[in-house]
A and B are shown apart, each in its own frame.
Chain A
């Protein structure tokens, strides 16, 4: 059974089509990178999968509609959606997805939160103020929070924004481990750091441009279709590198 399948998925805001007739099947477990220019509908696609927006067509997540599959998904939003006026500590941020469902904080929630915080290398920040952390540290805490419900699917919207190279590499190593048991969808502008652990790439520009393995999909022809300009691609064996990265995003 695929983790995610969509049939003719269309999202429309008034007369504007953010996504048109997107049909795709994503296997479980796997790591899929979603690429496309700004305004290509990448975040819209994620929001449709999360059941946050209305759409036409069909979405199935482990054969359930998005609204019934929420407990299966861990979500890392773009950091600018977080309200920094709320003076939460790191432990509060981690515990919110679980404690917002019950009146008390159970011991197992705390031990799971500590475990996830250790996984992202932030164990010493358990009592730190979330707002006082650097952008990269906040991103790691939010990453740990996405794991709190033991999801089968992890949806990450630009997870490497504001992270330094070291943090990025440690998160990528984590994703490498997690993809053995989870389906991971990541919106990225620059695929290069992820090339070696990516199973499939979904190129999106309101419509599906291409979907397949890195070596099949990442080529100059598809990059031209995606970004509307020539972007050099270097191929070394089964690995491809897009020259330009964020410059063309």
Chain B
């Protein structure tokens, strides 16, 4: 039983690394890393709402509601940004709204609140077969969309004005990018939790951007750093008996710290 859980954990680390390489790198390129944190908390509110709906009205997977909530928040932030609002301000407001809603919904599902709270910490060694299947589908979706629109995303993020002038629909691509970030964050919630999703999505890409300062280098480097961090986390969890994501986050942060010393 332990073996299959570890195997699922290792598969999850590979998939998380792909999200870090794509979503994480573009969050760094776009300078919207706070967005990832905001979306993670928005998803938490969605999960709490999903549990409330399941308890009160009809059966629904709370992760689906979390995903819908995260996408809704991403669209709201994208729209505010399109209306010339600073993205950080928009994320800050949505962050406050989502945490208010999370507290409200959690107070309505007191006995089951622990399920939603579990999404704050997550555990990569407690994933079910269904969790892995959901992860495979969502990561495949993310990677596929990135492969198809990679150069359009790059142009829009690098020079949105010229991209728009050349005929690219910047608002559409920015919105798609925000949606991919939302899907990426929610798909990682059960593995690493809302707090540490930031550690495994952003830190590897930030470190890779410093160590390998090209677009391809950042993407490949983010994948490798996230992969090694995740595997290190799983390995260390057997040695010191702590949550793998905490060890993975610390390892990734250590790699980032090393890149600060690079000339």
Instruction: Report which A residues bind B (CB closer than 8 A).
Output: 50-52, 70-71, 73, 75, 77, 81-83, 85-89, 92-93, 96-97, 99-100, 103, 129, 131, 145, 149
* A116 CA / B179 CA spacing, docked (Å): 36
Which residues 145-175 in B have Cβ within 8 Å of A in the complex?
Answer: 148, 151-152, 154-155, 157-168
Inter-chain contacts of A52 with B (CB < 8 A): 161, 164-165
Cα distance, A85 to B158, chains bound together (Å): 8
In the assembled complex, 9 residue pairs joining A and B whose CB atoms fall closer than 8 Å, in A order, are A83-B30, A85-B29, A86-B215, A87-B209, A87-B213, A100-B154, A100-B166, A129-B213, A129-B214
CA distance A150 to B148 in the complex (A): 26
Residue B254 at the chain A interface, CB threshold 8 Å: no
Q: Which residues of B contact A103 (CB under 8 A)?
A: 148
CB < 8 Å neighbour of B162 from A77, A85, A87, A88:
A77
Q: Which residue of B is nearest A69, CB measured?
A: B167
Distance A82 CA – B160 CA, assembled complex (angstroms): 8
- Please give the distance in Å from B67's CB to the nearest CB on chain A: 27
Whole-angstrom distance between the Cβ of B82 and the nearest chain A Cβ? 13
A40 CA to B260 CA, complexed, in Å: 44
Q: How far is the CB of A119 from chain B (nearest CB, A)?
A: 19
Given contacts A87-B215, A89-B214, A100-B152, contact A81 B161 (CB under 8 A): yes
Within 8 A of A (CB), among B83-105: none
Contacts of B151 in A (CB 8 A): 96, 99-100
Chain B residue numbers with a CB within 8 Å of A77 are: 159, 161-162, 165
When distances are taken between beta carbons in the complex, the residues of chain B under 8 Å from A97 are: 155, 162, 166
Instruction: Give chain B nearest CB distance to A78 CB in angstroms.
Output: 9
The minimal Cβ–Cβ distance linking A221 to chain B, given in whole angstroms, is: 35
User: Does B217 touch A at the CB level, under 8 Å?
Assistant: yes
* Interface flag for B5 (CB, 8 Å): no
Contact, CB under 8 Å: B158 / A83: yes
Taking a contact as CB atoms under 8 Å apart, the answer to whether B215 and A92 are in contact is yes
Tell me, in angstroms, the Cα distance from A110 to B209 when the chains sit together.
25
The answer to whether A88 touches B158 (Cβ under 8 A) is yes
Task: Indicate if the CB atoms of A100 and B163 lie closer than 8 Å.
Answer: yes
Chain B, interface size category, equals 20 to 34
> B158's contact among A73, A82, A99, A149, by CB below 8 Å, is which?
A82
Q: Which 8 A-B pairs have the closest CB atoms?
A: A100-B155, A50-B165, A70-B167, A86-B158, A87-B213, A100-B151, A86-B29, A75-B165
Given A92-B215, A96-B155, A71-B167 contact (CB < 8 Å): yes
Residue among A83, A86, A131 with the highest chain B CB neighbour number at 10 A: A86
A87/B214 in contact, CB under 8 A: yes
Q: Which residue of the partner chain A has the closest CB to B28?
A: A85
| Chain B nearest Cβ from A110, distance in angstroms | 14
- Of chain A, the residue at the smallest CB distance from B214 is A87
Nearest Cβ on chain A to B146's Cβ, whole angstroms = 13
Cα A77 to Cα B159 in complex, Å, equals 9
For residue B227, give the distance in angstroms from its CB to the closest CB of chain A: 21
Apart from A51-B165, A96-B158, A100-B151, 8 more pairs, CB < 8 Å: A71-B167, A75-B165, A82-B158, A85-B29, A85-B30, A87-B214, A93-B158, A131-B213
- Shortest beta-carbon distance from A102 to chain B in Å: 8
Q: How many angstroms between the C-alpha atoms of A85 and B166 in the bound complex?
A: 21
Q: For residue B218, which residues in chain A have a CB less than 8 angstroms away from its CB?
A: 87
- Within B194-216, the residues touching A (CB, 8 Å) are 209, 213-215
B159→A83 contact, CB < 8 A? yes
CA distance A93 to B159 in the complex (A): 10
Contact B162 A75 (CB under 8 A): yes
* Cβ contacts under 8 Å, A145 to chain B: 162
Q: Tell me the smallest distance from the CB of A51 to a CB of chain B, in Å.
A: 7
For the complex, give the distance between the alpha carbons of A18 and B165 in Å: 20
- CA–CA, A140 and B79, complex, Å: 34
Contact present for A70 and B209 (CB under 8 Å) = no
Q: Once the chains are docked, how many angstroms separate the CA of A97 from the CA of B226?
A: 32
Bound together, the chains give a CA A193 to CA B160 distance in angstroms of: 30
Q: Which residues of B contact A75 (CB under 8 A)?
A: 161-162, 165-166
With CB as the reference atom, state the residue of chain B lying closest to A52.
B164
